A and B are shown apart, each in its own frame.
Chain A
Amino acid sequence: NAGVMQNPRHLVRRRGQEARLRCSPMKGHSHVYWYRQLPEEGLKFMVYLQKENIIDESGMPKERFSAEFPKEGPSILRIQQVVRGDSAAYFCASSPSPVAGGLGDTQYFGPGTRLTVL
């Protein structure tokens, strides 16, 4: 029973390049969430997606950041023209259902992608 998979685990980019982060949810989960963790800070919600739909992107910067969860394949978080402030750990989580209440919508996290912008 594979957990949430993320790749790459570490990504180094120079300022101005693009970063693509991938997330495959747990088997049977159709809801994906992306969080960002800056050093010494808590995880901050970025975006919530279902297959082919962005449900809530209120936590994502309006410029340079985008996310998708296509019908086939992993969810992708894309950061264009990266800047040093984008350096962080990006975590993906998945759940079977987001608002069922109780434990049914517990979010299970992947190991994260650590992005370093030089």
Chain B
Amino acid sequence: GQNIDQPTEMTATEGAIVQINCTYQTSGFNGLFWYQQHAGEAPTFLSYNVLDGLEEKGRFSSFLSRSKGYSYLLLKELQMKDSASYLCAVRPLGGSSYKLIFGSGTRLLVRP
């Protein structure tokens, strides 16, 4: 089966660091995406991991462990505008790899 788990909600303080976890069980794996989605807006691409390790991009970093079926998104120096939902999506292997499998998203609230 296909299953992606993320925490439903998280709260953090402006200026702090927050880590949003994602675990997945899918039939084949060909990459993992993180998207940010502000309420009422489009999901916007943040990061992509296909090999184990950490990918850093400014204040955002994403980590992947394929053996553990685990990823996290790390947000540093939190800003109020980072309040949004963060979506973890897995690209399966094979001919249907375009069918991204999404978790339910993690709603992050950044407090002053």
Contacts and interface: CB of A to CB of B under 8 A. Distances in A.
Contacts, number: 67
Interface stretch (B66-74, B76-84, B96-104): B96-104
B42 A42 contact: no
Interface stretch (A11-19, A78-86, A103-111): A103-111
A16 to B, nearest CB: 27
Chain B at the A interface: SS class? loop
B102 A31 contact: no
A56 B98 contact: yes
Contacts of B95: 99
A109 B44 contact: yes
A107 B100 contact: yes
Which of A4, A109, A112 has its CB near the most chain B CB atoms (within 10 A)? A109
A109 B45 CA distance: 8
Contacts of B43: 43, 91, 109
A42 B4 contact: yes
B89 to A, nearest CB: 8
A103 B33 CA distance: 10
Given A42-B104, A44-B102, A111 B97 contact: no
Interface string A48-62: 100000001011000
Contact of A48 (B41, B48, B98, B103): B98
Interface residues of A, number: 31
Interface of B: 4, 30-31, 33, 35, 40-45, 48, 50, 87, 89, 95-105
Given A42-B4, A43-B87, A102-B50, A4 B99 contact: no
A90 interface: no
Given A59-B99, A106-B33, A109-B35, A41 B42 contact: no
B102 A98 contact: no
A4 B100 contact: no
B48 A103 contact: yes
A8 interface: no
